[in-house]
Chain A
Amino acid sequence: DGGITQSPKYLFRKEGQNVTLSCEQNLNHDAMYWYRQDPGQGLRLIYYSQIVNDFQKGDIAEGYSVSREKKESFPLTVTSAQKNPTAFYLCASRRSAGGPDTQYFGPGTRLTVL
């Protein structure tokens, strides 16, 4: 089955540690996105990538980093510089960056920093 996988579903880390969230898709989609969602809030864009080896900052990129070495994978690292990292993180992909298409979301990773 084609889809987007994120792992793990729940993640706990100590304050000051970097943590990497996984996002993999086998939909052959070109574009991938990372969002952050806080309780009762909408989705805010962290980073996005149109093609391999290219990515752009979203609205709240500070304290985060990404890489896009393979089309299928778009991992997100939450660094110690992120002041309030506890949140629900959602990865999404889209067939191509242009055209009348939409984004499809993975199941999400809930990160809790202790």
Chain B
Amino acid sequence: QQPVQSPQAVILREGEDAVINCSSSKALYSVHWYRQKHGEAPVFLMILLKGGEQKGHDKISASFNEKKQQSSLYLTASQLSYSGTYFCGLPGKGYGKLTFGQGTILTVHP
């Protein structure tokens, strides 16, 4: 079943913060986060493998709350380069399958 992302779109000014949520109706075992620039391939950001895990890369971090069946992506002091569509992917049954959310469009203005 497809995870649900919220919000669908976010508009920020440089330096502002944003949070993107990814929720599942089923138990979460891992969460994969990607960013896609317009017309390009999704780029892997990070993977969270267990409840309570938090990771960060530069000013982008994520948390994984398995009890709430939710993961959140935090973008701090956003930069113009953060603009794009963010997807979360949840593992399916076997073979390394991922089911992706519908995406959150993040736009950062100067």
Contact = CB atoms under 8 A, between A and B. Distances in A.
A41 interface: yes
Interface of B: 2, 30, 32, 39-44, 47, 49, 87, 89, 94-103
A31 B97 CA distance: 10
Nearest to A106: B41
A43 B96 contact: no
Contacts of A97: 94-96
Interface in A18-59: 31, 33, 40-43, 45, 48, 50, 56, 58
Interface residues of chain B: helix, strand, loop or mixed (majority): loop
A56 B95 contact: yes
Given A42-B2, A42-B87, A43-B87, A107 B40 contact: yes
A108 B100 contact: no
A48 B95 contact: yes
B74 to A, nearest CB: 19
A105 B94 contact: no
A100 B47 contact: yes
Given A50-B96, A103-B89, A107-B40, 20 more contacts: A33-B97, A41-B102, A42-B100, A42-B103, A43-B42, A45-B97, A45-B98, A45-B99, A48-B95, A48-B96, A90-B41, A90-B42, A97-B94, A97-B95, A101-B47, A103-B44, A105-B42, A105-B43, A106-B41, A108-B40
